[in-house]
Chain A
């Protein structure tokens, strides 16, 4: 008998519009979408365009959890999300959220999976089957929060697969992953897709979405493109839609060398339970652009945290502008070195955007000349009185950048600054980094995406197993 299951529509969305309670404009406008079983769909679009809101509608979280005005209907395997409870919908659709750590509750991997088994009253034999399929067997007794980012995601995907849902949605799954982990996740998704699962991938990372069979682009809450053209991501015109084309040329660069030494690191070692850095030595010249590469957990962030005294030197020496780092006060070092953390959530702690930026000026004893200029530069002027916590993660990243760069430090350290940014914001950041590099500032960037910085990088350092090498 001919298998016609691929003809079945697993998701049917008709005239869907949604406005969050109190919002001035709708997050989704008249969405019509039908997705067949076994499709591998990429949902693309700039920050704040409505991608995550659409995913929440597909899982029933909207309208059951968020209040607002919902028009139209969403059917998951024929079940109307408005008429069915979330528990009934999620046996058909699972989601890996952008902040996936919040999906972990227990201090052991097997307990995480068992929790799902108990919640749905499924046979405990499923545990062995799933952990084998997701290659989690050696990790079952580990604490999920101590695993690598890729492993954490695998634990959540394993929990989701307990109920054998037809649809798996992943919201920005690559944001915290290094290149090896990204390819591993992609392998898992392709395997699940080959076994009939419908995969919906929400991402800014077009390279990761290259194997998708269908591409949807959302802008301002509307679907503006829906295509099954496999070559779609390579087309240059998609940049007009706010999407980064694969192989986009981020510019070419002639390496500039500097004889004027600014940072000297000698035999730097650091240990917490196990050695993280092992006798690292490096020199960085004035005005250089240094890119630091390495796997998650290799010690990249630990190294740069030493440069602005967030970590105390245990062994070795660091000299900046001819002076030992121990001779700088915290305020002096913060004036000299601006540090942008990987996760903007960890950098935002004031009650308004303006106050967030002003905090740096106040603590460094600087006047407010740069305040308005910075608000304008980062397109934040009209939001100056709003709470920084009310923005999307990509927008928070912009606020975090503004709050550090307002003091115009001589050395700027950025830890994975592109993580949450969309194509336009990435282009802006590269242009901004180019401008400050041309003004003679030293820039150190940690990244898993070297291609973005091709046009700027003077030298690449690679950290592996706590040791440094230069490429």
Chain B
């Protein structure tokens, strides 16, 4: 879990491309995604898969998007198929759904899910094929503070590490007889809520250690090539 969201060495046009060109391409892709209809969204999704396969990312990409395809995608589609008309019309109801199966809902559901997929997966491809240091070096030349890029690197890495912490805590709880997967939905929710404080504590502790480590690595030094 720790490394699946991170950049790894690889070969292909997307690895060797200038990070700034990739940023522009990604933004263009987002704009296209937001203004496209179903047929074009299908085409964009196919392009995503071709890029993934061509860049040798297939296994990691499928692991990352597994949750999306197993749960999020079907949820969006099913929700739209049954409840599309609950939100349509001039005065959509907020709390009282009116379940009615509709083909329009199916089309809209697939459209929303594909749009979300295109947005997320294009960002993922960018993260997985871009060396953070190279990105930082390129951005520094445009007088954009390196701390901005570093913040993004930090956030990306922290999300992966928080998932890792969560896994470890759940494992420790399991070893002591409490398995969150084996309890009812109410206890499970309460169990996850109870984990927020330790997760936050661990994350803050780590953030402090990393901040110290960053100082010790000379980040922000006047002699350095990065502009802050």
Instruction: Give the CA-CA distance A90 to B173 in the complex, in Å.
Output: 41
Q: A346's contact among B2, B172, B211, B216, by CB below 8 Å, is which?
A: B172
Given contacts A114-B133, A349-B173, A404-B176, contact A120 B223 (CB under 8 A): yes
Query: A107 contacts B3, CB within 8 Å?
Result: yes
B184 in the interface (beta carbon within 8 A): no
Of the 9-residue stretches B6-14, B23-31, B41-49, B97-105, which lies at the interface with chain A?
A: B6-14
The smallest C-beta distance from B189 to any residue of chain A, in angstroms, reads 17
Instruction: Give the CA-CA distance A143 to B157 in the complex, in Å.
Output: 13
B213 in the interface (beta carbon within 8 A): yes
Instruction: Give the CA-CA distance A65 to B7 in the complex, in Å.
Output: 31
Query: B217 contacts A363, CB within 8 Å?
Result: no
Interface residues of B in 187-210 (CB under 8 A from A): 195, 197-198, 201-202, 205-206, 209-210
The smallest C-beta distance from B203 to any residue of chain A, in angstroms, reads 11
Q: B174's contact among A108, A111, A159, A310, by CB below 8 Å, is which?
A: A310
Query: A335 contacts B177, CB within 8 Å?
Result: yes
Residues of B within 8 A of A87 (CB): 215, 218, 220-223
Instruction: Give the CA-CA distance A347 to B169 in the complex, in Å.
Output: 6
Given contacts A86-B215, A102-B206, A118-B226, contact A310 B171 (CB under 8 A): yes
Instruction: Give the CA-CA distance A108 to B132 in the complex, in Å.
Output: 10
Residues of A within 8 A of B219 (CB): 115, 119
Residues of B within 8 A of A407 (CB): 176-177
Give the B interface residue count (CB, 8 A).
49
The smallest C-beta distance from B20 to any residue of chain A, in angstroms, reads 18
Of the 9-residue stretches A93-101, A199-207, A254-262, which lies at the interface with chain B?
A: A93-101
With both beta carbons as reference points, the residue of chain A lying nearest to B214 in the complex is identified as A105
Residues of A within 8 A of B70 (CB): none
A184 in the interface (beta carbon within 8 A): no
Given contacts A310-B175, A349-B198, contact A121 B169 (CB under 8 A): no
Interface residues of A in 332-369 (CB under 8 A from B): 334-335, 339, 341, 345-351, 359-360, 363-364
Residues of A within 8 A of B176 (CB): 334, 359-360, 363-364, 403-404, 407
Residues of A within 8 A of B222 (CB): 87
Residues of B within 8 A of A348 (CB): 172, 198
With both beta carbons as reference points, the residue of chain B lying nearest to A64 in the complex is identified as B215
Residues of B within 8 A of A310 (CB): 171, 174-175
The smallest C-beta distance from B185 to any residue of chain A, in angstroms, reads 18
Residues of A within 8 A of B151 (CB): none
Instruction: Give the CA-CA distance A65 to B131 in the complex, in Å.
Output: 30
B153 in the interface (beta carbon within 8 A): yes
Instruction: Give the CA-CA distance A94 to B215 in the complex, in Å.
Output: 11
If over half of B's interface residues share one DSSP class (helix, strand or loop), that class is named, otherwise mixed; here it is helix
Interface residues of B in 131-174 (CB under 8 A from A): 131-133, 137, 153, 157, 168-169, 171-174
Q: A102's contact among B137, B178, B209, by CB below 8 Å, is which?
A: B209
Query: B217 contacts A330, CB within 8 Å?
Result: no
Query: B213 contacts A389, CB within 8 Å?
Result: no
Residues of A within 8 A of B173 (CB): 349, 359, 363
Query: A118 contacts B172, CB within 8 Å?
Result: no
Query: B172 contacts A341, CB within 8 Å?
Result: yes
Instruction: Give the CA-CA distance A59 to B173 in the complex, in Å.
Output: 38
Given contacts A107-B8, A308-B175, A310-B175, contact A115 B133 (CB under 8 A): yes
The smallest C-beta distance from A391 to any residue of chain B, in angstroms, reads 12
The smallest C-beta distance from B126 to any residue of chain A, in angstroms, reads 14
Given contacts A94-B216, A346-B168, contact A330 B226 (CB under 8 A): no
Residues of A within 8 A of B132 (CB): 106-107, 111
Query: A97 contacts B213, CB within 8 Å?
Result: yes
A137 in the interface (beta carbon within 8 A): no
Residues of A within 8 A of B221 (CB): 87, 119-121
With both beta carbons as reference points, the residue of chain B lying nearest to A163 in the complex is identified as B218
Residues of A within 8 A of B225 (CB): 118-119, 121
Instruction: Give the CA-CA distance A363 to B176 in the complex, in Å.
Output: 7
Query: A364 contacts B177, CB within 8 Å?
Result: yes
Q: A389's contact among B3, B201, B226, by CB below 8 Å, is which?
A: B201
Q: A121's contact among B213, B215, B223, by CB below 8 Å, is which?
A: B223
Query: B177 contacts A330, CB within 8 Å?
Result: yes
Residues of B within 8 A of A141 (CB): 9
The smallest C-beta distance from B73 to any residue of chain A, in angstroms, reads 27
Q: Which residues of A contact B (CB under 8 A)?
A: 59, 61, 64-65, 86-87, 90-91, 94-95, 97, 99, 102-103, 105-108, 111, 114-116, 118-121, 141-143, 145-146, 159, 163, 308-310, 330-331, 334-335, 339, 341, 345-351, 359-360, 363-364, 387, 389, 403-404, 407
Q: Which residues of B contact A (CB under 8 A)?
A: 2-3, 6-9, 131-133, 137, 153, 157, 168-169, 171-179, 182, 195, 197-198, 201-202, 205-206, 209-226
Sample (6) of A-B pairs whose CB atoms are under 8 Å apart: A97-B212, A106-B153, A107-B3, A359-B176, A363-B173, A403-B176
Apart from A87-B215, A97-B212, A120-B224: 9 A-B pairs, beta carbons within 8 A: A59-B216, A105-B153, A107-B132, A119-B221, A143-B6, A143-B8, A348-B172, A351-B197, A387-B201
5 tightest CB-CB pairs across the interface, nearest first?
Answer: A334-B177, A363-B178, A119-B218, A102-B209, A349-B198
